[in-house]
Structure 1
Amino acid sequence: MKIALPAICLGVLLAACASTAPPSIGYSRNLEPIPGSITYGGQPRTKLTEAPVGSIVPHRFRDKFGRQVSETYVIEPDRSLQLISRRIDYDLPSDR
């Protein structure tokens, strides 16, 4: 029993890590662009020709509600951008 409990805990922790890992090549999680995203309305007209394939491109903007949005893109082999993550920072009300 002393060995089984740590083994179960380790299995649960590994399963949690595997389920929250960022997407790998192929990006199974398809985020849709929102107004302000680089790829909203289609891919940009200019291609990123000097950046290596697989490079990360960060992008920050404010959405229509004034929230700070941070997005991360990766450059695909065809030089298009793939949106891989988005974080929205919600402003908490202040007491002022």
Structure 2
Amino acid sequence: MKRSIAFWLVFAVVLTGCTTSAGNYSSAGLAPIPGSITYSGQPRTKLTKSPAGSSFPHTFTDQWGREVEEIYIIQPDRSLLIAARHYRPVFSLDDD
């Protein structure tokens, strides 16, 4: 009986962690790093032609020479949110 209660309690906790909407980006996003579009604050020009909720990539080299790709999402107030950041490897094993 105690195992059953413990199982359902753990199941409920795990389930509540999974109930967030996949399209909801209500968090503050990732912190900008040098090279990010939003590093010095939001851009002065507003993205007026792109619809809110759309995304776009930005690739740059960070201060350590790594290639970084960030994915930005345009918020309803036309500000940018960094949704994802990927570091590309400096050396590739596929090079001949």
TM-score interval for Structure 1 and Structure 2 normalised by the shorter chain: 0.5 to 0.7
After superposition, where does 1:35-54 map in structure 2 within 5 Å?
35-54=34-53
C-alpha distance in 1, partners of 2:40/2:28? 19
After superposition, where does 1:2-81 map in structure 2 within 5 Å?
24-28=23-27, 30-81=29-80
Q: Is the 8 A contact 2:28 2:81 kept in 1?
A: no
1:62-95 deviations in Å (ceiling 9; x for gaps) = 011111100000000000101100001131388x
Q: Is the 8 A contact 1:27 1:84 kept in 2?
A: no
Scaled by the length of structure 1, the TM-score of the pair is 0.68
Deviation at 1:27, TM superposition (A): 4.1
Aligned residue pairs, count: 77
Deviating above 6 A after TM superposition, structure 1's stretches of 4 or more consecutive aligned residues are none
Gaps spanning 5+ residues in structure 2: where?
1-14
AA aligned to 2:39 is Y
AA aligned to 1:51 is S
Deviation at 1:28, TM superposition (A): 3.4
AA aligned to 2:40 is G
Match of 2:89 in 1: 90
RMSD: 2.6
